[in-house]
Chains A and B, each alone.
Chain A
Amino acid sequence: MNGVLLEVKDLKTRFRSRGGLVYAVNGVSFHVKRGETLGVVGESGCGKSVTMLSLLRLLPPAARVESGSALFEGQDLLKMNYRQIQKVRGGKIGLIFQDPMTSFNPVLTIGDQVGEALIYHRHASKEVALKRAIELLQLVGIPDPEQRIKDFPHQFSGGMRQRAMIAMALACEPDLIIADEPTTALDVTIQAQIVELVKGLRDRLGVAIIWITHDLSLVAGLADRIMVMYAGMIVEEAKTEEIFDDPRHPYTLGLLSALPAFQAEKKVRRLASIPGSPPDLRAQPISCPFYLRCSYSIDRCCLEMPALQTVRNGKENDHRIACFVNIHERSTVA
């Protein structure tokens, strides 16, 4: 059960733009085990979505994967031809997008769209696909699914559409689901519904999940492991508990202390904030991307790029950071 399902090595993705190349993903390596939930956290533009789109080769025409490999069940996703990758998309890997309002085709019924993957991947007949679509909608908690499969997307509310999208992603019993900010467009009470639903489905079906989000608190209860990204790099990766209890990268520490909820108990007047703003990705990265905003930075940070290194070996997961400084030592000295 504990085999590695997906292993990404040194992925680099660039965009062509009028202002020159945009270095969106700069050497990202990670893995996902079977049945595991990986949380990917970062601000907008940090490359978290582009990383996942690169894997499924869904990038816009201006983008190109420069180098890297992505082994999924022993096969390199990045080297597959069109037919092979089509088999993976929606087959072995399901996708849930951020915006349930625009991700459905408005002129097809929900039933057609949920069942489509079965017709395509499993060569099911239309009747079988619709029957299965009803089961799937029932699974994700849509009341009265026999009637609702005849509805069009505009007749569904945001939360319902997101449920339908989850049903669509589950249609072919994938081994991995990539969820790209699936609750960002939803209200908190609906977000709570979707999170509980996904947790329940994961425990029942044993599917691995990559959950992309900008909200650290959201993945606290959901992910087994968390990966923090900044400027197209992984800056820290560890078991969820370790990220929250013992963050080692200054950026993770900054993100956590900037959360108002984190400080609610302490009754502070001012929030700890990270000064400055994220770097311009049009410059080729040669130094630590965070050093200008970092209060721990040393001379070396602006000369070299820190590699992702293990700082603590865990039983199952190592704690890795990309930083030259040990923030614990620094804080005792300073």
Chain B
Amino acid sequence: MTMKPKPLIRVTNLVKYFPVRLGAYGEKKATVHAVDNISFEIQAGETMGLVGESGCGKSTAGFSLLQLHRPSSGKCYYRDVDLTSLSQNQLRPYRQKIQIIFQDPYSTLNPRMTIGAAISEPILAHRLADRKTVMSRVITLLNDVGLSEKAVNRYPHEFSGGQRQRICIARALACDPEFIVCDEPISALDVSIQAQIINLLQDLQEKYNLTYLFIAHDLSVVRHISNRVGVMYLGRMAEMGEKEMIFAEPKHPYTQALLSAVPVPNPHIEKNRQRQVLSGDVPSAIEPPSGCHFHPRCPVAFDDCKIVAPAWRRIEDGRWVACHKV
């Protein structure tokens, strides 16, 4: 076996539970099993896609990785540093290098801050420039994301959704990050604008050698942008591998159903297609099903699936799956 380069990001056995209170008076305590023991690695310069339905824990995984939520257990390494062991103060220098782009560009920009102020804030906070020199940096960033320098003195409400997302990207880039978590960065945007933002993210990746964790529920977008893909279901990873393998030969029955559910923009294929439609809904993460979380909806489930959770195992180089039937 060839020696692999060291991964930029390494997540091992990450768990995040949220305590909640149920009932009209909050008299019942419960736990949301948002992320339930997932592990993955991301190499420098690659894009790892994370897909799954709403509530499957993909955003929580991204947030926990950045220590925006402190994980319940498990480790998150950036290079060789275990981020989970650091205090908020100790984390600060690493925050420059690991950034995030959020889903909704309407609520993530402060309406009372000009664009110039919003983008220069992280630069000043990390003391990467002083007040005199910061504006030239802001203008470079705005040009990088395809906005004119006139934007500096304007307010967020003057921009459209696509433009606001460009501003959020500029802000994430402000401190020269190496790794960016893109949390559904295009789902709030219109179709014709989505393609612009995807192209921009790819151009920036080439220019600055960025590494992305791209979280999305839209499989065709993930297929386009990622090198590797992880599929999540109810807090656990179902399958992970090279993009081509996942899409050409999905092994896990959930991945198969997910791919089959996505409509194809071709009426000749679509009108005659036999879909594998999953029955039922995604179960609650408060009381996930026993054994394999997918067994109540799985077309190939057998008795073992109800009792034993399948192990997360490597079936070939770079290909991981959690299913008894594979």
Q: Which B214-270 residues sit within 8 Å CB-CB of chain A?
A: 217, 219-221, 223-224, 247, 257-258, 260-268, 270
A221 touches B267 (CB 8 A): yes
Nearest-neighbour CB distance to chain B for A268, whole angstroms, equals: 8
Nearest-neighbour CB distance to chain B for A84, whole angstroms, equals: 37
B262 touches A261 (CB 8 A): yes
* Residues of B contacting A277 in the complex (Cβ-Cβ under 8 angstroms): 160, 162-163, 193
- Which of B190, B199, B282 gathers most chain A CB within 10 Å? B190
B275 touches A217 (CB 8 A): no
A71 at the interface (CB under 8 A from B): no
A274 touches B265 (CB 8 A): no
A275–B198 Cα gap in the complex (Å)? 13
In-complex Cβ contact of A192 among B198, B219, B221, B261 (8 A): B261
Interface residue count on the B side (C-beta < 8 Å)? 42
* In the complex with contacts A193-B278, A277-B162, A277-B163, A264-B220 CB distance below 8 A: yes
* Residues of A contacting B190 in the complex (Cβ-Cβ under 8 angstroms): 43-44, 214, 278
A216 at the interface (CB under 8 A from B): yes
B53 touches A160 (CB 8 A): no
* Residues of B contacting A244 in the complex (Cβ-Cβ under 8 angstroms): 265-267
B258 touches A272 (CB 8 A): no
B67 at the interface (CB under 8 A from A): no
Residue in B closest to A223 when the chains form the complex, CB atoms: B267
A189 touches B265 (CB 8 A): no
A272–B198 Cα gap in the complex (Å)? 10
B73 at the interface (CB under 8 A from A): no
B1 at the interface (CB under 8 A from A): no
* Residues of B contacting A272 in the complex (Cβ-Cβ under 8 angstroms): 195
A43–B162 Cα gap in the complex (Å)? 13
Q: Which A209-241 residues sit within 8 Å CB-CB of chain B?
A: 214-218, 220-221, 240-241
B192 touches A255 (CB 8 A): yes
Interface residue count on the A side (C-beta < 8 Å)? 44
B202 at the interface (CB under 8 A from A): yes
In-complex Cβ contact of A270 among B193, B202, B275 (8 A): B202
B195 touches A217 (CB 8 A): no
B311 at the interface (CB under 8 A from A): no
* In the complex with contacts A217-B264, A260-B220, A273-B192, A189-B258 CB distance below 8 A: yes
- Which of A44, A217, A240 gathers most chain B CB within 10 Å? A217
A273–B192 Cα gap in the complex (Å)? 6
Residue in B closest to A243 when the chains form the complex, CB atoms: B267
A221 touches B53 (CB 8 A): no
In-complex Cβ contact of B195 among A44, A188, A273 (8 A): A273
B29 at the interface (CB under 8 A from A): no
A217–B221 Cα gap in the complex (Å)? 13
Closest 8 pairs between A and B when the two form their complex, measured CB to CB: A221-B270, A273-B195, A192-B261, A261-B220, A260-B224, A187-B53, A258-B195, A217-B265
- Which residues of A are in contact with B by a Cβ distance under 8 Å? 43-44, 157-160, 187-193, 195-196, 214-218, 220-221, 240-241, 244, 254-256, 258-264, 269-275, 277-278
Could you list some 13 contacts between A and B, CB below 8 A? A187-B54, A187-B217, A188-B53, A188-B217, A190-B53, A192-B277, A192-B278, A244-B265, A258-B191, A260-B220, A264-B223, A274-B195, A278-B192
Known: A187-B217, A271-B224. 15 other contacts (CB 8 A): A159-B281, A160-B281, A187-B53, A188-B258, A189-B257, A191-B261, A193-B277, A217-B263, A220-B263, A221-B270, A258-B194, A259-B265, A264-B223, A270-B199, A271-B198
